Amino acid sequence: MVEVWVIAAVVVVCAVLVYVMAAARVVKQYERGVVFRFGRLVRGVRGPGFQFVVPFVDRLHKVNMQIVTMPVPGQDGITRDNVTVRVDAVIYFKVVDASDALVKVEDYRFAVSQMAQTSLRSIIGKSDLDDLLSNREKLNQGLELMIDSPSVGWGVQIDRVEIKDVSLPETMKRSMARQAEADRERRARIINADAELQASKKLSQAAHEMARQPAALQLRLLQTIVAVAAEKNSTLVLPFPVELLRFLERATPAEAAQAVRAVSDVAEAGAPQAGQKGPAPGSTEPGADAAGEEPPPGADGATDTERVDARAPAGRGTGSPPSADGGSGPG
């Protein structure tokens, strides 16, 4: 009799163990459990931990409550300004109601993916190319609202949507590069013109100051000469007196031309041209002997008669050449 009771107890214990093993479920911290009893939703969501269900009657479905990162495939579209682009995006979402995510939509991941693709195409068609490239924050917010509106009924919350990449045709890239280069060239010219304007104003002020103190202009001339002489070059510096410039300003055109010719003659005499050499020591000029005799008549291309006429007084007229007996010709 005792053996029978022992065997019955063992059988009961085994049955309880089998029941517990069949009914026990473990729900992780980032999951929630939804129970269906005979295909009908049991109210209430099972939290994390050790959960029991009725074996062969209840079915426990676990739903992940973590934020899901889903890339949106690249979508080709035409912007509002008729530019063909390809846009890639990424979407972050999570399940906030496990029951609705299982009951109201067949596959919430696939549904969110398709909704993101259609919304991305709609955003591309409503936006300009400049907005896609520079105003992405506003487009991200609009895209998030478009996806979040229908997904609220699915128990899904859209956390964030980001436009990841905008691919342009090669021809459009070259056109944008030329536009950027032209814009930089325009700004460089504007800055250069502004600098020239400021420099001209400063030079005008300096000219007024130097006009009050003439010695300042002389010091500036000496500084320029020192700066030029500091470099190793073959530049010939000829200081030009400032007083001469003032004289030329007050002089008549004839006097100014005469003064300029005088300065040019002095410069040519002080700085002979390169390659021009004088007579060697001990050598004589052609047409003159070693005793220093004058060149014969006609050596310079003029006759004795022309020399006599040139030495004649200015008041006498040019007469006839002298006769053979030493007398003068008729007046």
pTM for the full predicted model: 0.53
Q: What is the pLDDT of residues 198-207, one digit of tens each?
A: 999 988 888 8
| 140, two tokens | 């991200």
pLDDT at 47: 87
Local confidence band at 208 (pLDDT 50, 70, 90 cut-offs): confident
The candidate with the shortest Cα–Cα distance to 218, out of 245, 247, 242, is 242
Q: What is the pLDDT of residues 47-94, one digit of tens each?
A: 888 888 888 888 889 999 999 999 999 888 888 888 889 999 999 999
The string of DSSP codes covering 6-50 is HHHHHHHHHHHHHHHHHHEEEE-TTEEEEEEETTEEEEEEE-SEE
pLDDT at 191: 95
Please check whether residue 125 is in contact with residue 80, taking contact to mean a CB–CB distance below 8 angstroms.
yes
Local confidence band at 219 (pLDDT 50, 70, 90 cut-offs): confident
For 317, the 3-state DSSP assignment is coil
Please check whether residue 228 is in contact with residue 235, taking contact to mean a CB–CB distance below 8 angstroms.
yes
Query: Bigger pLDDT: 272 or 269?
Result: 269
pLDDT at 67: 92
pLDDT at 96: 92
Asked if the model's pLDDT at residue 118 lies above 70, the reply is: yes
Query: Mean pLDDT of all residues in the chain?
Result: 76
pLDDT at 252: 64
3-state helix, strand, coil in the chain (%, to 5): 50, 20, 30
| Count of alpha carbons within 13 angstroms of residue 276, beta-carbon side | 6
CA distances in angstroms from 326 to 296, 323, 329, listed in the order given: 22, 6, 9
DSSP count for the chain of H helices, then E strands = 10, 8
Please check whether residue 8 is in contact with residue 29, taking contact to mean a CB–CB distance below 8 angstroms.
no
Local confidence band at 150 (pLDDT 50, 70, 90 cut-offs): confident
Q: What is the pLDDT of residues 276-331, one digit of tens each?
A: 444 444 444 444 443 344 444 444 444 444 443 444 444 444 444 444 344 444 43
pLDDT at 266: 64
